Chains A and B, each alone.
Chain A
Amino acid sequence: MFKNRKFLMFMLLSVLSVLVLAACGGGDKESKDKDSGAKSKSSLETIKANDKIVWGVKNDTKLFGLKNPSTGEIEGFDVDIAKELTKIILGDETKVEFKEVTSKTRIPMLNNGDIDSIIATMTISKERRKEVDFTDVYFEAGQSLLVKKGSKIKSIDDLDSKTKVIAVKGSTSAINIREKAPDAQVLEFENYAEAFTALKAGQGDVLTTDDSILYGMASQDNNFELVGGKFTEEPYGIAMKKGSDDFVKAVNDALAELKSNGKYNEIHDKWIKK
Chain B
Amino acid sequence: MLDFTILTDNMGMFLEGFKNTLIVSLLALIGSFILGTLIAVFRIAPIKPLNWIGTIYVEFFRNIPLLIILFFIFIGLPVLGIRFSGFQAGTIALTVYTAAFIAEAIRAGVLSVHKGQTEAARSSGLTYIQTMRYIILPQAIKIVIPPLGNQFLNLVKNSSILTIVAAGELMYQGDLISSRTFVTFDVYIFIALFYLIITLPLSYGINRLEKSLAKSN
Contacts and interface: CB of A to CB of B under 8 A. Distances in A.
A–B contact via C-beta, under 8 angstroms: yes
Interface of A: 3, 7, 10-11, 14-15, 18-19, 21-23, 25-26, 29, 104, 108, 127, 130-131, 169-170, 174-175, 187-190, 194, 197-198, 200-203
Interface in B85-117: 85-86
Contacts of B180: 175
Nearest to B83: A202
16 contacts: A11-B200, A18-B189, A19-B189, A25-B185, A26-B1, A26-B2, A26-B186, A169-B176, A174-B179, A188-B176, A198-B75, A198-B165, A198-B166, A200-B75, A203-B78, A203-B85
B78 A201 contact: yes
Contacts of B193: 15, 18
Interface string B179-192: 11010111001001
B189 A22 contact: yes
A201 B79 contact: yes
A11 B193 CA distance: 11
B185 A203 contact: no
Interface string B63-77: 000000000001110
Interface of B: 1-2, 74-76, 78-79, 83, 85-86, 164-166, 172, 175-176, 179-180, 182, 184-186, 189, 192-193, 196, 200-201, 204, 208
Contact of B204 (A7, A25, A175, A201): A7
Given A3-B208, A10-B204, A23 B1 contact: yes
Contacts of A22: 1-2, 185-186, 189
Interface centre among A18, A22, A104, A174 (most CB of B within 10 A): A22
Contacts of A188: 166, 172, 175-176, 179
A225 B86 CA distance: 24
A127 B180 CA distance: 10
Nearest to B76: A201
A120 to B, nearest CB: 16
B83 A203 contact: yes
Contacts of B76: 201
Contacts of A203: 74-75, 78, 83, 85-86, 165
A139 B135 CA distance: 75
Contacts of A189: 164-166
